[in-house]
Structure 1
Amino acid sequence: MTGESFFAHHSHDEAEQAAPASQEEQRPGTIPADLIPYLEEADRVDEEDFDNESADSEPDERDLALEALALNSMLLGPDPSILAELEGDYSQWGEDWEEELAERRAEDAHREALTDAAHSARMEARVEEIYQEIIARVPEHQVQPTLDRVKETLDILGDPQNSYPSVHITGTNGKTSTTRMIDALLAASGVRTGRFTSPHLVDVRERITIEQESISAEEFVRTWDDIAPYIEMVDRAHAETDGTRLSFFEVFTVMAFAAFADHPVDAAVVEVGMGGRWDATNVIDAGVSVIMPIAIDHEKWLGSTIREIAEEKAGIIKPGQIVIVARQEEEALRVIEERAASVDAIVRLEGRDFEVLDRQLGVGGQMITVRTPAAVYEDVFVPLFGSYQANNAAAAIAAVEAFMGGRALDARLVEAGMLAATSPGRLQVVRHSPTIIVDAAHNPAGAHTLGESISEAFDFERIVGVYSGMGDKDIEGVLGEVEPYLDSLVVTQMPGVRAKPAEEIAEIARDVFGEDRVEVHEDILEAIAAAVNLGEAGDESAPATGVVVFGSVLLAGEVLRLMGIRP
């Protein structure tokens, strides 16, 4: 009986106040028999009331459910069949709800945008902190003749570089463009790629790309946090033995290989930083290596002759691999073939095993036909200027063929891959009317190619150069190569401790160009403005005027940054 225990407690107190009763008639703690019918009736009434209350509440709950359903229906517009079930006037719900929903969505989007912006700012700030920490190490251009530190660090990490196949690229000129083309071709074939190049133009994260995108700030920070303890461990060990620690470039190499394994990627396309034999990237066991044209550059670290430099770059050739070799000077080719023969590597030589059969200039680039060991690829559009980019494309196609086992590639995928290829800072048009071009040419061979390419690809009546260079470069040789193509030259000052002072460059420039063809404007934007004015000073219209900024990857990157252009 409902409520029995509750009433049992109070019946004992009531019994003490009531008339005495015999023990047989009433025991302590029990309900008097004469009260039981009344209590049962009370329980029955309570249950009926409860049932009535539940019944009364059902319409309220039903209406609430219908209202919720109606509100949800407003996302697609009010449903009359639902509104008809509700009591009250809901005729204005459609209009009001749409307006309220739009306002709420706008508020939510605004809050989300602010949250994302704050997070991005924190991540970018952390990336900069990490970069400043790494850049304090030995500079990347100072190659040290050892791979021990990199090998030891990667060994502790479980050798991530061995978890995917690689293509390894070296050379003096064209290696970055070719690396990017190989990456684009593999991606078009459905391969998830990681790409490692150097140096960067604007953002340090450009060096490491995963599936054609710069590594995100979050991934950059996470990768650093993962490897930093092990880098510190190797640093401490070497501080006790030889007094060294991992260099700037060695750290970034480890970061790239770790990030690729963590993603993970199907293949890595890895550009050598400098040289080859002692470059930090030379810890990979690539199935395919690519050697682009070799010329005099970085003499202080690689040697002063073609043979010495070729010996360093041929150091990436591994036993049994396929080596794609671009056109080389005879001495460089001899060194490469000797190295390949000594380790039983197979050489695929431009002009013998692969070549550009035909090349036609077009709007925004060129149309090429390429012969490789496996096929002839006709009418492939390359959205880049310069005959050297056609040669780079041929080497890239040959390399991807070799990577894919030597079989012919799907022509449609080759077309798609080359169409997606980019080469920031290499004959890059950053403005029209007048046309402003940015190029990273920094040695005589690159400057010669730059001059020829501008003459071929652009119909300028007047060309003005803007130049700055590193102190260790052959500045006279570079300027001598471009002088026949330029009407005048503006010398500027790029940032960095390695940059040669503008006035010292101007002295060399006056010897090459003559006093009346050289101006000096240390501020880069002022130098570009001065070059534009010089170009437009003649009778020719603005479209016939060209300004080319050249001399260094650093200068090219600084111009892109100042103009707000992301590579």
Structure 2
Amino acid sequence: MNDPAARAAQSFAEAEDALLSRWPETRLEPSLDRILAFTELLGDPQRAYRSIHLTGTNGKTSTSRMIDGLLRALDLRTGRFTSPHVEKMSERISIDGEPLDDEAFVRAFNEIAPYTHLVDASEAHPLSFFETVVGMAYAAFADAPVDVAVVEVGMGGSWDATNVIDADVAVITPIAVDHAHYLGTTAAAIAREKSGIIKPGATVVVAQQTADVAAVLLERTVEVGATLAREGLEFGIASRVPAVGGQAISLQGLRGRYDDVFLPLYGAHQAQNAVMALAAVEAFLGGEEPLGDDVVRTAFSEATSPGRLEVIRRSPTIVLDAAHNPHGAEATAAALDDSFQFDPLIGVIGVMGDKDAEGLLAAFEPHLAHVVVTQNSADRAMPAEQLAVTAREVFGEDRVSVAPRLSDAIDEAAGRAESGGSDALSAGAVLVTGSVVTVGEARVLLGGRK
């Protein structure tokens, strides 16, 4: 078989090209057969370290990053796997809080590449891009070696390629309807799929959920003999006050209360992500002793989450947020009201073709004075003109304009933000949102990579 991934890559671009030549993340064949065959050939690297596994509809990446920060503050060596990436593929695999550099990424790819064609030849379907990157991550973590891997699912849970790990702690962020054509059309059906990451003997850290979702997660927890820790019962947010550059929070964890913690991220949803991260690390460590206050404060004060209500530019202010479904858009809109006073706020929105564009636009409608609809460069992007039809239904003809090129859309929105204030003291701003890809491309245009 002529397999481009079986050749050694000489550069990051070659490794990236070989990975992208595989089945894309959107082409799914729900089975763990290929990833199990692959990791077996690699020597089952995922068994070389303990792990924390995350699923849910929104908040996974931010929570993963905060868990990673807390573990590193406790002098543990970490591997972190998240998806999708914002700007560069290597962001998906981090060791000690830093994405693999180009040389390490190529080395990690070349170590697993000889085995990919063996799986392709032995299975009914070839390894996908996502399966291959998961194998790369698990092998890189074993090579490092790490003490603990923090792993975010790609989609779902039971048959997600990441689910060959046997995690000590399963973290389940809020569940809502997204990827309905893959996971199910109701939150309860989606919860059933996501609950597959809960393993016998694990601790399950669960965000507040709707009653039907909570029932599904409880049923799975009991079925496999796991231990349940629920936000609002066993742990939770004691208080939260917006502050300059983020928020001040007090957290009740599983093992102690932590007051006056500064979190440099905006919105109630990020406070929720923080307490989820805290409970996950407490559960992972076990025992009764609280974490040190200094450890908790330091870890959270250094938290970052690129593309999540990220202020990327001033004059006018441009905010990037990767909300791509109605649930995420509602959290973002609430955080904008909570933490900022922009007038006017102009939206730049580009979504993927398989997303609930109407629901997302409706969530933002009360908060945006005007929306410039655009599209990102992905093949799956919804054409701007198609999105504009829905946007006009939601916002009305006068509050919608179309700029298919993202750079033009940002320029137009910035102009409107600067000229549209209702008085001399008001400050206009731009919100770029609708897709992780849209936000990543905007971040590149605006010089965001750090």
Indicate conservation of the 8 Å contact 2:51/2:165, yes or no: yes
| 2:197 paired with 1:316 | yes
1:218 corresponds to which letter in structure 2? E
Amino acid of the structure 1 residue aligned with 2:182: W
TM-superposed deviation, 1:537? 2.4
AA of the residue aligned to 2:405: D
2:281 paired residue number: 400
User: Which secondary structure state, in structure 2, belongs to the residue aligned with residue 277 of structure 1?
Assistant: coil
Amino acid paired to 1:173: N
The residue that corresponds to 2:115 in the other structure is: 230
Partner of 2:272: 391
Task: Decide whether the 8 Å contact of 1:144 with 1:278 is kept in 2.
Answer: no
Consecutive unaligned residues in structure 1, runs of 5 or more: 1-122
The answer for the alignment partner of 1:467 in structure 2 is 349
- From 146, 149, 152, the counterpart of 2:34: 149
Matches of 1:522 and 1:257, distance apart in 2:
39
Shift of 1:406: 3.9
Name the CA distance, whole Å, in 1 between partners of 2:283 and 2:9. Answer: 39
What CA distance in whole angstroms lies between the structure 2 residues aligned with 1:501 and 1:160?
42
1:203 aligns with 2:85: no
Amino acid at match of 1:301: Y
Structure having the larger proportion of residues in helix = 1
Query: CA-to-partner distance for each residue in 1:464-509, whole Å, 9 max, x for gaps?
Result: 1000101111101100011000101001121111101100100110
Flag the 1:271–1:399 CA change in 2: closer, same or farther, 3 A: same
Q: Which residue of 1 aligns with 2:3?
A: none
**How is 1:258-407 mapped onto 2 (pairs within 5 angstroms)?**
258-407=139-288
SS state at 1:464 partner: strand
Match of 2:376 among 482, 491, 494: 494
Residue of 439, 443, 446 corresponding to 1:560: 443
Query: Which stretch shifts more, 553-562 or 211-220?
Result: 211-220
- What are the Cα deviations for residues 147-171 of structure 1, in whole angstroms up to 9, with x where unaligned? 1111111112211111100000000
Question: Given the two structures, how large is their TM-score scaled by the length of structure 2?
Answer: 0.96
The superposition leaves residues 206-244 of structure 1 with CA deviations (integer Å, 9 ceiling, x where unpaired) of 000011111122221112111111111111112xxx2x1
**In structure 2, how many angstroms separate the alpha carbons of the residues matched to 1:403 and 1:224?**
30
Shift of 1:564: 2.0
Q: Deviations over 1:65-95 (max 9, x none)?
A: xxxxxxxxxxxxxxxxxxxxxxxxxxxxxxx
Q: Given residue 129 of structure 1, which amino acid in structure 2 is its aligned partner?
A: E
- Cross-structure match for 2:5: none
Q: Give the counterpart letter for 2:112 in structure 1.
A: I
- CA 1:541 to 1:168, structure 2 compared with 1: closer, same or farther past 3 Å? farther
CA contact (8 A) 1:464 1:546 kept: yes
Deviation, 1:373, is 2.1
Matched letter for residue 502 of structure 1: A
Do the aligned partners of 2:310 and 2:321 also contact (CA within 8 Å) in 1?
yes
Q: Does 1:213 align with 2:126?
A: no
**Root-mean-square deviation (CA), in Å?**
1.4
Q: Deviations over 1:531-555 (max 9, x none)?
A: 1121222344586111100000000
Matches within 5 A, 1:247-262: 247-262=128-143
Shift of 1:143: 3.0
5+ residue gaps in structure 2? 1-7
Query: 1 CA distance for matches of 2:169 and 2:331?
Result: 27
Distance 2:335 2:315 in 1: 19
The AA in structure 2 aligned to 1:291 is I
Out of 35, 41, 49, the residue aligned to residue 164 of structure 1 is 49
Check 1:289–1:518 CA distance in 2 against 1; reply closer, same or farther (3 A cut). Answer: same
Q: Which amino acid aligns with 1:373?
A: L
Instruction: Give the superposition deviation at 1:130.
Output: 1.2
In structure 2, relative to structure 1, the CA distance for the partners of 1:443 and 1:125 (3 Å cut) is farther
Give the ranges of 4+ consecutive aligned residues of structure 1 lying more than 4 Å apart after TM superposition. none
Separation of aligned partners in 1, 2:268 and 2:78: 27
CA distance in 1, matches of 2:86, 2:380: 16
Would the aligned equivalents of 1:143 and 1:274 in 2 still touch at CA under 8 Å? no
Shift in Å, 1:141: 2.8
Q: In the alignment, is the contact (CA less than 8 A) between 2:418 and 2:429 conserved in 1?
A: no
Where relative contact order (Cα < 8 A, 6+ residues apart) is larger, the structure is 2
> Aligned residue pairs: how many?
441
Residue 128 in 1 paired to residue 13 in 2? yes
Q: Secondary structure at the match of 1:528?
A: helix
Matching residue of 1:103: none
